[in-house]
Amino acid sequence: MKKHLLYLSSFLLLSACANSSTSLNAELPSKETAEFTSSDSILQKSFNWAKKQALVYAHDADDPVGAWYEAALPQREAFCMRDVSHQSMGAHILGLTRHNKNMMHKFVKNISESRDYCSYWEINRYDKPAPADYASDSEFWYNLNANFDVMQACLKLYEWTADKDYISAPDFCNFYDLSVNQYIERWQLDPEKIMDRPPYMNQSEDFNEANNFHSCRGLPSYVENFRGLTVGVDLLAALYGGFEAYSKMAVLTGNQDKASNASETAKAYREIIDSRWWDEENNRYNTFWTTEKKFFRGEGVPFILWFDATDSNERKRACVTDILAREWNVENMSAFPLLFYNLGYNEEAYRFVSTLPTTNRSEYPEVSYGIVEGIVCGAMGLSASASDGKVTSLSRVADDFCDIKNVPVFNGYISLRHEGMNLSKISNDTDTDLIWVASFQGKHDTLECDGQNLTTTISTDVKGNTISSAEIKLPKGAKKTVRTVN
């Protein structure tokens, strides 16, 4: 990629930053938001635990920082960029919409040239950078993945909330533009240069490798304990995901040139992962690239799936095999329910949903939020897309009913019930006419809705399960029931 493709002019997107945000009508109390019931006692128990635990970590506007939830090590009284990015969808489902918006805005508005276009990695309840990670603009802790994780999370939040601030407000636009331009240059993350970058960059004259606020000021991975690391596969995956999100935001704000350039850059990162990091002999990805120009194995593979950083289903399946062959900490395992359900590995996802509440360090905030998202978006397959006015559902629970009431979507709520894998009911309690993409596992040529037969579209998930889908008009205030016919 030529460097000029990355230096995209900021004023074009900023000129589009005039749209106002959308807020929920008649916001429900937490008890009535995301009310889950199921005949599967394990799913029920796990969701009950997760919702209760997650809401314990939520704090309203009484603190100087405003509405926030804990998204860092317990007792830190803080939230970090990585954890908020990964907890934000579970938080949204539970009605913590204001909390997400406030925390994401704190991150994007604090990007600074004096910190080499980093933000604050972790912010505490006093609206200050957490002392455990920050001493000054020249001495602080920062993982370079963070900017791009935030970008992907903000796009997801837009799709669920229809809040245009996430894609067009000035502070958000400025963060995105700086991240894909100046940040890339300052930290040598360009696709053509990233494999040759040094382990430490932008350091002061008194640099001391033994000082974590020096050596960890710009970590090229979420892995924090491997010396000599210059690039992690998780950073490459995050770069892919961030540029893909940036491209989609540019489409939504009407800048096709910016969208095309960002998409091409994203593809360049994906090509690096698939052409250079894939280990053909062992059928798996390498995860670390070192100062010695050698690959090593460690953590990082789950992020290839998190950011969808390969388009090969065969290699995604290899990633699942790789993940299941080893032990993981709770930070990684928190994402497994959602990831495995969405890839079609229902039994594996269910195992993590059922065991995470009692695993070691289950009090880590990411666990409870991950279970909420894993059950609602994974087991029930609920997703929303403001960009095309659709909600999608897919039951991945074979023999039991699952019911979720009052999930915040756009400026209202969606309620969804699955009875096994053959019948689904939905209620549109928003003021927006929607399209419901009703999907079922298995090959069904026809679905039935309101006495009408609907021809399906057939697809397969990563594992190879057949999925049958049909689009159904779902006017505001409407309730619909869809069942399989054959």
Ordered DSSP codes for 318-384: HHHHHHHTS---HHHHTTHHHHHHHHT-HHHHHHHHHHGGGSTTTTSHHHHHHHHHIIIIIIS--EE
Query: Which residue is listed with tokens 């609206």?
Result: 127
- Specify the number of domains making up the chain: 2
The two tokens of residue 408 are: 């915040």
Same domain, 356 and 405: no
**Beta strand segments in 50-163, E:** 58-59, 68-69, 78-80, 122-124, 134-136, 139-140, 142-143
CATH number at residue 261: 1.50.10.10
* Phi and psi torsions of 151, nearest 5°: -60, -45
The pLDDT value given to residue 27: 83
Same domain, 438 and 316: no
Same domain, 359 and 421: no
- To the nearest 10 degrees (0 to 180), the angle between helices 170-180 and 146-161 is 140
Same domain, 160 and 78: yes
The pLDDT value given to residue 76: 92
* Phi and psi torsions of 10, nearest 5°: -75, -30
The two tokens of residue 236 are: 């490459």
Per-residue pLDDT of the chain (486 residues; tens, 9 = 90+): 433 333 333 333 333 333 333 445 568 988 999 999 999 999 999 999 999 999 999 998 889 999 999 999 988 999 999 999 999 999 999 999 999 999 999 999 999 999 999 999 999 999 999 999 999 999 999 999 999 999 999 999 999 999 999 999 999 999 999 999 999 999 999 999 999 999 999 999 999 999 999 999 999 999 998 889 999 999 999 999 999 999 999 999 999 999 999 999 999 999 999 999 999 999 999 999 999 999 999 999 999 999 999 999 999 999 999 999 999 999 999 999 999 999 999 999 999 999 999 999 999 999 999 999 999 999 999 999 999 999 999 999 999 999 999 999 999 999 999 999 999 999 999 999 999 999 999 999 999 999 999 999 999 999 999 999 999 999 999 999 999 997
Measured distance CA(339)–CA(331) in Å, rounded: 13
Same domain, 137 and 190: yes
* Residue 278 counted as domain residue: yes
Q: Which helix (H) or strand (E) holds 22?
A: none
Q: To the nearest 10°, report the CA torsion of 424, 425, 426, 427.
A: 180
| Domain boundary residue, one of 379, 410, 425 | 379
Amino acid at residue number 461: D
Measured distance CA(149)–CA(83) in Å, rounded: 9
Same domain, 364 and 427: no
How many Cα neighbours within 13 Å face the side chain of 388?
A: 12
Same domain, 360 and 403: no
The pLDDT value given to residue 61: 80
**Beta strand segments in 141-290, E:** 142-143, 217-219, 229-232, 278-279, 284-285, 288-290
Same domain, 316 and 417: no
The pLDDT value given to residue 7: 36
Give me the residues paired with residue 59 across strands.
Answer: 68
Domain span at residue 433 reads 390-484
The two tokens of residue 443 are: 């090959």
Same domain, 415 and 342: no
Same domain, 372 and 447: no
Same domain, 66 and 173: yes
The pLDDT value given to residue 25: 55
Same domain, 91 and 215: yes
Cα distances (Å, whole numbers) of residue 304 to 284, 287, 308: 11, 10, 6
| Domain boundary residue, one of 379, 401, 420 | 379
* Residue 384 counted as domain residue: no
CATH number at residue 444: 2.60.40
Q: Calculate the CA 161 to chain-centre distance.
A: 15
